[in-house]
Structure 1
Amino acid sequence: MSIFSAATLGSVPSGFYFLSNIFTSDASCTLSPPFPSLVNHSKFYKHCHKSPSGRSSFHAAKIFVSANANTQVLDGESASPDSVRQARVSADWKAARSYHESGFIYEGRIEGHNGGGLLVRFFSLVGFLPFSQLSPSHSCKEPQKSIHEIAKGLNGSVISTKVIQADEENKKLIVSEKEAAWSKYSEQVEVGDIFEARVGSVEHYGAFIHLRFPDGFYHLTGLVHVSEVSWDLVQDVRDILTEGDEVRVKVTSVDREKSRITLSIKQLEEDPLLETLDKVIPQDASAAPDLLSNSNISNIEPLPGLGTIFEELLREDGINDVRISRQGFEKRVVSQDLQLWLSNAPPTNQKFTLLARAGRQVQEIHLTTSLDQEGIKKALQRALERVP
């Protein structure tokens, strides 16, 4: 009686094994396989017969185990249950290493959970899937449930996993649903894409954001750094975002080698640094009592560090004059550090506009120059490199 042959397996990665020509004595029974299936779902069946004592005995005429070109043949009565079991376990660890090296996805059945994660069947072995390696789709689908309640509900289901550790010596077989999800869905993510998303865990340095895909599930997670949360000055992201918040994010980078996505929330909002100068500093001083008018130009002190930059700019060929034209105060702090922004507005009488900001204070600077916009950018870069 042939259980199955190599032909039934189709194309499988090295490290898989197959058994053939397993015989049993008179009365036989078929037990459910101890694992879901091989890659092509060809079932493995163990045939046994009941002895008078009620115990199942196992008799094998020949067991052929093949894994990474290593073979083992056990014949006749020498194939004791223990040797058969050990041969199968050894072959399954080789399969696990093969999955780890190749990156193939394994469909594993969840057989239970403990305090730290799920127990996932891998052929005759049991792998461990830490809760941290679960796809965000589960928690986003049932946000009101605890992780242990979610784990209990997953018992008996089949999930896609990747082997991330296969240590036979220490009996550690670790699998990840997150890594499998990355293989399936990361190619659908490109820089510039915009996603509806949900906030996951939040730290002072950033927030982990779960991305919702067209199928309605949250398959991948990216990081919004503290600097990309808001145009306002943010010291601690936990002051702005809370787990479960619904947000829109823009993909700013995708590192496919490290399986990382970086995101931005603020880039989908109006950049206050790119508002028109008349919005930031209204021409009509009466509209903003705290603004200094043009008649007070001589009283404007350059922002800290700006005077040194002016001196360096005047050393550049093509820049004839640098002076502050207006000053104002914004409603919110964008950055405590000095920032310089070159206006995209066309020059008037060879004058370009530069905007300097620090804290709430804003100063408009006119550059009288024969340089074009690209030339000014290079001159600014050289000047700033000379500033200590």
Structure 2
Amino acid sequence: MPMFSATLGSSIFFYHSSSSSIQTSLTFPKCPYKFHCINTNSTSSIEIEETGILHRPPLVTDLDQTQLAIRQARRSSDWKAANAYKESSIIYNGRVEDSNAGGLLIRFFSILGFLPFPQLSPSHASKEPHKTIQDIAKSLVGSILSMKVIVADEDNRKLIFSEKEAAWSKFSGRVKVGDIFEARVGSVEDYGAFVHLRFPDGHYRLTGLVHISEVSWDLVHDVRDILTEGDRLRVKVINVDREKSRIKLSIKQLEEDPLLETLDKVIPQDDSAVSDSLNDEDGSVIEPLPGLETILEELHKEDGIFNARISRQGFEKRVVSPDLQLWLSNAPPSNQRFTLLARAGRQVQEIHLTTSLDQEGIKRALQRVLERVP
């Protein structure tokens, strides 16, 4: 049986055959190459031609398995840490790794999380209003931002951050009802405008909502007719909901209610008639505003209230609200008689209330009545 040898590098491979004529492929078990061997004569001279690479899967060593187990344990531990941040509301200072069309990619140890654009602090856009949000995002790559974990879902591989929530924790304690802020309009919706509040350090830290009803004393049909993104204005804080992280703002409350300013013109205090005022001097009966008659009936049922009747009515030059509004006038009482004002649309009616109650007592009685009346 002839034996042929072939040399590849420093290794010698042997092939045995009983045939004097050889033309076959050789495959050597421990060599990643395949050869085509051709017998050129009947002696021992052969040609070896490399014909390809044998594709064999790499061997998984014990070291590889150990490293894989370490990486899995580390990621599991990091997901637990992410949940701990979420549950405790601890602020995390994270590095911005990159940005995409929807937000920023944030490094959280071995995990890559996401900070959507709507969860960015308003300070970035307010600082550079001429830039698009995508350009601002690119400029933030590599920076460290303070944020909170708001979603940590290991099963679905979702880790979501919010810079707004972190800003709320830091700065909401400095906001109180009645405060007045310089502000900038962020976005305008059908129901109102989101407005960024400028803090004494010059940065816009928090965002509040000016509802459509708080934009103007005039009746507003479309907020966009009055406010535009980027507008600078002053706003008054009228409510802070710390549980829901919400701030309600008002523009119109920085001005006096025009009815209070012009009450004497709408309803003359000397009972004299004017061109746009109606009263009962001619003996005609004033029809109560829709819903007001029921309120007056309920007021008569309250202890300490002896009489409640409409005395005069007038018309404003503009519509403030289409809904019925009722409040106690600041005019001092005379002979146990207070004045209530009711308004709907342009129409205003004055009500004389005879009572033994003081102002606080009347307010409590009104509150009870309004709770009973649908």
Q: TM-score, normalised by structure 2?
A: 0.73
Native 8 Å contact 2:327 2:341 kept in 1: yes
Pairing 1:25-104 to 2, within 5 Å after superposition: 80-104=66-90
Change (3 A) 1:301 1:153: same
2:109 aligned with 1:123, yes or no?
yes
Deviation at 1:284, TM superposition (A): 7.9
Native 8 Å contact 2:98 2:141 kept in 1: yes
Change (3 A) 1:167 1:280: same
After alignment, is 154-163 or 270-279 more displaced? Answer: 270-279
Write the distance in 1 (CA, Å) between the matches of 2:357 and 2:155.
Answer: 69
Deviation at 1:92, TM superposition (A): 2.6
Q: Determine the structure 1 residue equivalent to 2:165.
A: 179
Change (3 A) 1:296 1:364: farther
Native 8 Å contact 2:95 2:143 kept in 1: yes
Deviations 1:287-316 (A, max 9, x none): 963223674463543333434444454555
Query: Which structure dedicates a bigger proportion of its chain to strand?
Result: 2
Pairing 1:326-365 to 2, within 5 Å after superposition: 326-365=312-351
Deviations 1:57-113 (A, max 9, x none): xxxxxxxxxxxxxxxxxxx95775434433433333333233223322222221211
One-letter amino acid matched to 1:336: P
Q: Determine the structure 1 residue equivalent to 2:224.
A: 238
Write the distance in 1 (CA, Å) between the matches of 2:95 and 2:369.
Answer: 63
Write the distance in 2 (CA, Å) between the matches of 1:278 and 1:120.
Answer: 62
Q: Which secondary structure state, in structure 2, belongs to the residue aligned with residue 195 of structure 1? A: strand
Q: Determine the structure 2 residue equivalent to 1:367.
A: 353
Native 8 Å contact 1:197 1:209 kept in 2: yes
Gaps of 5+ in 1: 1-75
Native 8 Å contact 1:281 1:328 kept in 2: yes
One-letter amino acid matched to 2:236: K
Native 8 Å contact 2:209 2:248 kept in 1: yes
Write the distance in 1 (CA, Å) between the matches of 2:105 and 2:371.
Answer: 57
Pairing 1:201-350 to 2, within 5 Å after superposition: 201-275=187-261, 277-282=263-268, 289-292=275-278, 295-296=281-282, 298=284, 300-314=286-300, 319-350=305-336
After alignment, is 364-373 or 350-359 more displaced? Answer: 364-373
Deviations 1:113-171 (A, max 9, x none): 11111111222322111111111111111112211111112122221122222222322
After alignment, is 365-374 or 282-291 more displaced? Answer: 282-291
One-letter amino acid matched to 1:174: I
Q: Which secondary structure state, in structure 2, belongs to the residue aligned with residue 298 of structure 1? A: coil
Write the distance in 2 (CA, Å) between the matches of 1:91 and 1:385.
Answer: 54
One-letter amino acid matched to 1:359: G
Change (3 A) 1:119 1:316: closer
Native 8 Å contact 2:279 2:286 kept in 1: no
Native 8 Å contact 2:96 2:140 kept in 1: yes
Native 8 Å contact 1:297 1:324 kept in 2: no
After alignment, is 369-378 or 350-359 more displaced? Answer: 369-378
Aligned length: 313
Deviation at 1:198, TM superposition (A): 1.2
After alignment, is 258-267 or 302-311 more displaced? Answer: 302-311
Q: Determine the structure 2 residue equivalent to 1:142.
A: 128
Q: Highest CA radius of gyration, 1 or 2?
A: 2
One-letter amino acid matched to 2:178: G
Q: Which secondary structure state, in structure 1, belongs to the residue aligned with residue 253 of structure 2? A: helix
Change (3 A) 1:147 1:316: closer
Q: Which secondary structure state, in structure 1, belongs to the residue aligned with residue 105 of structure 2? A: strand
Native 8 Å contact 1:334 1:359 kept in 2: yes
Change (3 A) 1:123 1:207: same
Native 8 Å contact 1:297 1:325 kept in 2: no
Write the distance in 2 (CA, Å) between the matches of 1:386 and 1:98.
Answer: 47
Change (3 A) 1:145 1:307: same
Deviations 1:232-261 (A, max 9, x none): 333443333222121222222323333222
One-letter amino acid matched to 1:168: E
Write the distance in 2 (CA, Å) between the matches of 1:207 and 1:335.
Answer: 19
Q: TM-score, normalised by structure 1?
A: 0.70
One-letter amino acid matched to 1:335: S
Gaps of 5+ in 2: 1-61
After alignment, is 209-218 or 242-251 more displaced? Answer: 242-251
Q: Determine the structure 2 residue equivalent to 1:160.
A: 146
Q: Which secondary structure state, in structure 1, belongs to the residue aligned with residue 352 of structure 2? A: strand
Identity of aligned residues (%): 75
Q: Which secondary structure state, in structure 1, belongs to the residue aligned with residue 228 of structure 2? A: coil
Native 8 Å contact 2:307 2:353 kept in 1: yes
Change (3 A) 1:347 1:161: closer
2:149 aligned with 1:170, yes or no?
no
Change (3 A) 1:274 1:117: same
Native 8 Å contact 1:326 1:364 kept in 2: yes
